[in-house]
Amino acid sequence: MTSLLRHQAYEEERLQRVAEKLPCRETQAGTLLSLMGQPQQYSYPSIFIYGHRASGKSHVMQVLLKELELPHATVSCVECVSVALLFEQLLLSFFGCDAASLLPRSPSLSDFVRIYRQQCSQSPAKQTRYIVMEKAELLRDTDANLLPALLRLQELVEDNVTIILLSEIVWDKFRPNTGCFEPLLLHFPDYSKGELQQILSQDKHPSYSAEFYSSYINILLGVFYSVCRDLRELRHLAALNFSKFCEPLADGKVKETDTHKLWRNIEPHLKKAMQTVYLREVSSLQWEQMQQTEEKETGTVRGLSAHTHVELPYYSKFLLIAAYLASYNPARTDKRFFLKHHGKIRKTNFLKKNEKTSNHLLGPKPFPLDRLLAIFYSVVDNRVAPTASIFSQISSLVTLQLLTQVSHDDQLDAPKYKCAVSMDFMCAISRTVSFDIVKYLYDFL
């Protein structure tokens, strides 16, 4: 679709190369070219590009700026932990080391503007200079005057410069309360399943045909597309499991066209890998070694994922056990399991019409923080003081996606959580601390 990348300022051959490097993003690249205009003319002061992770924002910008040979500076807001580093990197990219050395030790925005204007007077811009700021949402945590100043930097420095902000959140989350210059907004939508198929199929293995690799990608997306649409993660999974997909072919057991047998061979491995999407507890080499070891020991692939090999702090394991019990046990059974003198309580007295189904089939239920801590103090071996360390470990479990916070962020007095791990994983964690979790589950009475 090179017709979408036509611009009178650039050669057709150069635009053709750009289009080949930007599959499924020709529309967005064409819109950006229209916004940039002629290289010698003034461009719009600021452009805000937003979209989910791995939707092609940085890649499209880098390909356009490098292939069209436009002067630019790419800044990661993650790396620039201070304003001084940001100003130094911008001056270094456009004017060299001498200009960057003119900055004082703790430069202000006025210092940066002054030095930039001095350098512009000595070497004025012949083309539009572009400043690309990745992870721009971190600018909200800097000085209040930095973001509004960057949005109208063209006016402040009196130079042909355009700021391009790349972010995963929408502009409404950025806009300061005091108001600012409104940038042009450009949205990068998520890749569809067909677009992911087209992009991933380009990474075909040289030893196999394009049709064979395309059928593998089709199988991979059939398993992972419902839980993961991140192009980088899918590309990692495709490279990680392709050797296992080709094993029957290398042994001469099947042909390339026998998709059904190839699917039966790879299915348990893909389902196992699906339990560790986004969680890189082990490297790719360690993952392959674990699979080979398990097959040698048992002859089959066990159902436990790499989660069973993750190491957690001692009290984090008990917090996770308490969260699992709180998610799968009715609240009124806590007295039966965690009090010594609870009296005789028969399970039949608990049953109601709507509780004949197993709680494990219904899924985890949300629970408040105070219930989690009450169960935790009951199951842990020794007495633990309710310190900040315990609460920080709960936050770490949420970050690791082992727990899910289901209440709103503004509910600070009574946050609610859900346990997000499987029974197999929980049994493996319990064994490491010699805790028999089955004895405390209502479904197994």
Looking at the fold, whether 321 and 291 belong to one and the same domain comes out as no
Looking at the fold, whether 415 and 384 belong to one and the same domain comes out as yes
Domain enclosing residue 299, as ranges: 193-306
CATH, residue 318 = 1.10.10
The answer to the question of residue 170 being in a domain is yes
- Total structural domains within the chain: 3
The answer to the question of residue 352 being in a domain is no
Last residue of a domain, one of 187, 208, 243: 187
Q: Which helix (H) or strand (E) holds 262?
A: helix 259-274
Looking at the fold, whether 123 and 237 belong to one and the same domain comes out as no
Alpha-carbon distances of 187 from 50, 152, 359, rounded to whole Å: 5, 21, 42
Return per-residue pLDDT of the chain as tens, 445 residues.
Answer: 444 677 877 888 888 889 899 999 999 999 999 999 888 888 999 999 999 988 999 999 999 999 999 999 999 999 988 899 999 999 999 999 999 999 998 999 999 999 999 999 988 888 999 999 999 999 988 888 899 999 999 999 999 999 999 999 999 888 888 888 999 999 999 999 999 999 999 988 888 888 889 999 998 998 888 888 889 889 988 888 888 888 888 777 888 888 888 888 888 888 777 766 765 555 556 555 555 555 555 444 443 344 444 678 888 889 999 999 999 998 888 888 877 655 555 554 545 444 556 777 888 899 998 899 888 888 886 667 767 788 888 888 988 888 988 876 556 667 889 998 888 888 888 888 888 888 888 888 7
Task: Answer for the pair 119, 95: CB distance below 8 angstroms, yes or no.
Answer: yes
Find how far residue 436's CA is from the centre of its chain.
35
Looking at the fold, whether 289 and 322 belong to one and the same domain comes out as no
The answer to the question of residue 243 being in a domain is yes
What CA–CA distance (Å, rounded) separates 110 from 127?
24
Paired strand residues for 184: 47
Last residue of a domain, one of 187, 220, 235: 187
Go through 307-334 and write b for each residue having 16 or more CB atoms within 10 A of its CB, e for each that does not.
bbebebeebbbbbbbbbbbbbbbeeebb
The answer to the question of residue 348 being in a domain is no
Residue for token pair 């993650």: 78
Q: Write the burial class of residue 348 (CB in 10 Å: 0-12 exposed, 13-18 middle, 19+ buried).
A: exposed
CA neighbor of 256 nearest in space, from 220, 197, 213 = 213
Looking at the fold, whether 174 and 230 belong to one and the same domain comes out as no
Q: Which residues, including other chains, have CB under 8 Å from residue 58's CB and lie 6 or more apart? A: 132, 134, 166
Looking at the fold, whether 28 and 112 belong to one and the same domain comes out as yes
The answer to the question of residue 412 being in a domain is yes
Query: What is the bridge-based pairing of β-strands 46-50 and 161-167?
Result: parallel
Looking at the fold, whether 384 and 240 belong to one and the same domain comes out as no
Looking at the fold, whether 302 and 328 belong to one and the same domain comes out as no
Paired strand residues for 129: 161
The answer to the question of residue 344 being in a domain is no
CA neighbor of 366 nearest in space, from 301, 416, 410, 424 = 416
In the prediction, which pLDDT does 410 show? Answer: 59
Task: Answer for the pair 70, 107: CB distance below 8 angstroms, yes or no.
Answer: no
The answer to the question of residue 77 being in a domain is yes
User: pTM for the whole thing?
Assistant: 0.65
Looking at the fold, whether 208 and 284 belong to one and the same domain comes out as yes
Kindly give the residue spans of alpha helices, DSSP state H, lying in 134-230: 146-151, 153-157, 193-200, 210-224
The answer to the question of residue 379 being in a domain is yes
Looking at the fold, whether 112 and 213 belong to one and the same domain comes out as no
DSSP 372: H
Find how far residue 106's CA is from the centre of its chain.
34
The pair of structure tokens assigned to 335 is 């007295």
Task: Answer for the pair 166, 136: CB distance below 8 angstroms, yes or no.
Answer: yes
Looking at the fold, whether 41 and 140 belong to one and the same domain comes out as yes
